[in-house]
Amino acid sequence: MSTYGKRKGLEERLLDKRNITSSGCWEFTGWVNNKGYGMIGKGPGTRKLVLCHRASYEIYKGPIPEGMFVLHSCDNPPCFNPEHLSVGTHKDNMTDMAVKGRKVVLKGEASGNAKLTKEQVKEIRSLHKPTHPGGRGSNTAILATKYGISKQYVLQLVKNDWRKDG
């Protein structure tokens, strides 16, 4: 019987995109997301993508309990070797990350959430001043508009001085 037009199953498609490394990882050679994890179409009738390591776990080890994570013992995001996979809680995943030295805490402008550079914070602090005698009013709104932040954030930077690092 011809296989022309017949769709491959998820396991076969995964194995077609497998590169076995010297460390035993099964690295996915298809599309990977921005965190390096392989992504593959779930199957016919859906456009939904699934993480390859989760699909592999379910194929070779069984269902993933609700709310559980699939952890890599190899710390290699594109790996989907079921021997390198186990399930655990979010806390297990965070503990594993910390123990293995993969936890990076970015502060100040190195953080992806930073809206200001250290120099801009210094400028705001030096430029902020009361606009009326006796301390009533200020140029908070002007500074907020100039730097694209909220008035509350300007006040946090100036009054509370909680962001000393930047």
Domain ranges of the chain: 10-99, 109-160
- Distance set, CA 64 to CA 35, 56, 125 (Å): 21, 11, 51
Region of 115 on the Ramachandran plot (φ > 0 left; ψ -120 to 50 alpha; else beta): alpha
pLDDT, tens digit (0-9, with 9 covering 90-100), for 111-165: 666 778 888 888 888 888 766 665 556 788 888 888 888 888 888 887 765 544 4
Burial profile 3-26: b = 16 or more Cβ within 10 angstroms, e = fewer: eeeeeeebeebbeebbeeeeeebb
- pTM equals 0.59
pLDDT number for residue 3? 47
Give the fold, CATH level 3, of 10-99.
Homing Intron 3 (I-Ppo) Encoded Endonuclease; Chain A (3.90.75)
Contacts of residue 60, defined as CB under 8 A and 6 or more positions apart, other chains included, come to 82
pLDDT number for residue 65? 96
pLDDT number for residue 131? 64
Provide the mean pLDDT of the chain. 83
pLDDT number for residue 103? 67
Q: Which two tokens stand for residue 45?
A: 């009738």
